[in-house]
Amino acid sequence: MSVKLIAVDMDGTFLDDNKEYNRARFAELYAQMKEQGIRFVVASGNQYYQLISFFPEIAHEISFVADNGGWVVSEGKDTFNGELTKQEFNTVIDHLLTLPHVDIIACGKRNGYTLKSYDDAFIKMARSYYHRLEVVENFSNLDDVFFKFALNLPDNLLDDTMDVLAAQFDGIMVPVTSGHGSIDLIIPGVHKANGLRILQEKWGIDDSEVVTFGDGGNDIEMLRQAKYGFAMANAPEKIKQIAAYQTGHCNEQGVLNVIERALKKEAPFNA
């Protein structure tokens, strides 16, 4: 069985800690992937507009599972997006605004939205992940399609807040960790693995022909779904335990090393 799809998370996985990757080496590997008919998919919690900025030359020919599966764009074409009802959006926002230590970004199709009342350091950090970010007075009457909330909070409150939100929003949204001090609220079932499944059905690709890479709680489903799920060396222990395979640190080109093995049909891709 040969590999037909390779999907990468970005932060802490494909990108190093400086938010960079070896562009020359990837360009060589990508040319070989195209020759072998292997699809390349970027599967990230980040905003679509931010993700395409990392791949200016090829964004029109690869696929993106953005906002943790909330929006799927394939070869420049809108393929899928989740959508909260107005009532669900208001239910979630009304509760989040009662949590004093939580900064909120409402993730829409056109923009991310956050509040003017938050401190400048948070807004600056948010802009690094959201190329389109609107700073607003409040979250009412926003005209957009919403499929995710990104929350920023102190690390020490993360676990308790996850539990509280899971109970509070049962059936409407699911909290997943997406890095230090951050939680994403996603629509149930609208995760990265669902985005990949949509693309796989479109292309006729089986889970046994898929390689995925990740390092966080929002990667769990796609690491489990693919036959070749690789956790990064820098991933938390619980992520390493659920992944079938491991690769090196994000600062040591762990993803590119495995892609090279897949292209050469070396272990474990030679079985």
- 9, 67, 103, 215: the catalytic one is 9
Query: Is 9 an annotated catalytic residue?
Result: yes
8 A C-beta contact, residue 209 and residue 227 = yes
Q: What is the dihedral of CA 65, 69, 74, 80, to 10 degrees?
A: -170
Task: Provide CATH code, domain 5-81+190-263.
Answer: 3.40.50.1000
Q: How confident is the model at residue 167 (pLDDT cuts 50, 70, 90)?
A: very high
59-100: per-residue pLDDT in tens? 999 999 999 999 999 999 999 999 999 999 999 999 999 999
pTM of the predicted model, to two decimals? 0.94
103-162: per-residue pLDDT in tens? 999 999 999 999 999 999 999 999 999 999 999 999 999 999 999 999 999 999 999 999
Three state DSSP letters for 47-85: CHHHHHCCCCCCCCCCEEEEHHHCEEEECCEEEEECCCC
pLDDT > 90: what percent of the chain?
97
For residues 218-229, give the mean pLDDT. 97
Q: Domain coordinates of the chain in residue numbers?
A: 5-81+190-263, 86-186
Q: Which CATH class is domain 86-186?
A: alpha beta
